[in-house]
């Protein structure tokens, strides 16, 4: 069951926190979240899931920033959310998708208990200019059936304060194998 806009509003300060909250962004069954003025872009040619990847931070100026096709940009919401006893879900807005911009490539379901800013995975089909403060996605809340176990402080994205690049490497604690062959002393000169 998805909460209505009125139910989202009635749960504010109890099971749902949206800061800042603006009633004009409330929809019949969701709430629009806005784009912050910063993004990050990975600098690596090949991303490695077993280690942190370098990235560069970009500011979205008031006159806008043009996203290029086939490139992943990570942004974040202006709003910080906190959710208890419901599953928060992030969806792109159809008006944005109709311009060829995908907002969450595959990570739209949050965890019960998540607290923080939402990192957005932005991918454009063709060049598109975006602006800070743009209502870019919507959050909706689903009721949970069964015993609830909340996402806790140990969660790698919990209580974040900024855009979160992938932290998958923290789950993959194995050090990568060194694929470089080692030679015994003097063997490098052998024929």
Catalytically annotated residues: 121
The whole-angstrom separation of Cα 47 and Cα 143 is: 36
Query: What's the residue count for the chain?
Result: 191
Residue labelled with tokens 């209505």: 4
Give, in order, the Cα–Cα distances in Å from 144 to each of 6, 18, 88. Answer: 18, 19, 10
**Residue 125 near residue 96 (C-beta atoms within 8 A):** no
DSSP string, 8-56: HHHHBTTTEEEES--GGGB-SS-EEEEEEEEEEEE--SS--TTS---EE
**3-class secondary structure, 134:** coil
In Å, how far from its chain's centre is CA 104? 7
Look-up of token digits 């792109």:
92
């Amino acid at each position: 069951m998805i909460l209505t806009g009125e139910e989202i509003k009635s749960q504010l300060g109890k099971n749902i926190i949206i800061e800042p909250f603006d009633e004009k962004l409330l929809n019949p069954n969701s709430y629009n979240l806005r784009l912050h003025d910063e993004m990050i872009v990975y600098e690596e040619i090949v991303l490695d899931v077993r280690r942190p990847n370098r990235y560069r931070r970009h500011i979205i100026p008031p006159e806008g920033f043009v996203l290029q096709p086939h490139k992943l940009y990570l942004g974040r919401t202006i709003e910080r959310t906190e959710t208890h006893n419901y599953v928060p879900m992030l969806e792109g807005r159809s008006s944005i998708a109709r311009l060829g911009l995908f907002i969450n490539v595959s990570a739209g379901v949050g965890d019960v208990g998540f607290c923080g800013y939402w990192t957005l995975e932005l991918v454009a089909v063709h060049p598109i200019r975006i602006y800070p403060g743009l209502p870019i996605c919507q959050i909706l809340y689903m009721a949970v059936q069964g015993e609830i176990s909340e996402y806790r402080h140990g969660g790698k994205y919990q209580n974040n304060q900024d855009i979160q690049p992938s932290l998958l490497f923290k789950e993959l604690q194995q050090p990568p194998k060194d694929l470089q062959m080692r030679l015994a002393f003097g063997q490098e000169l052998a024929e």
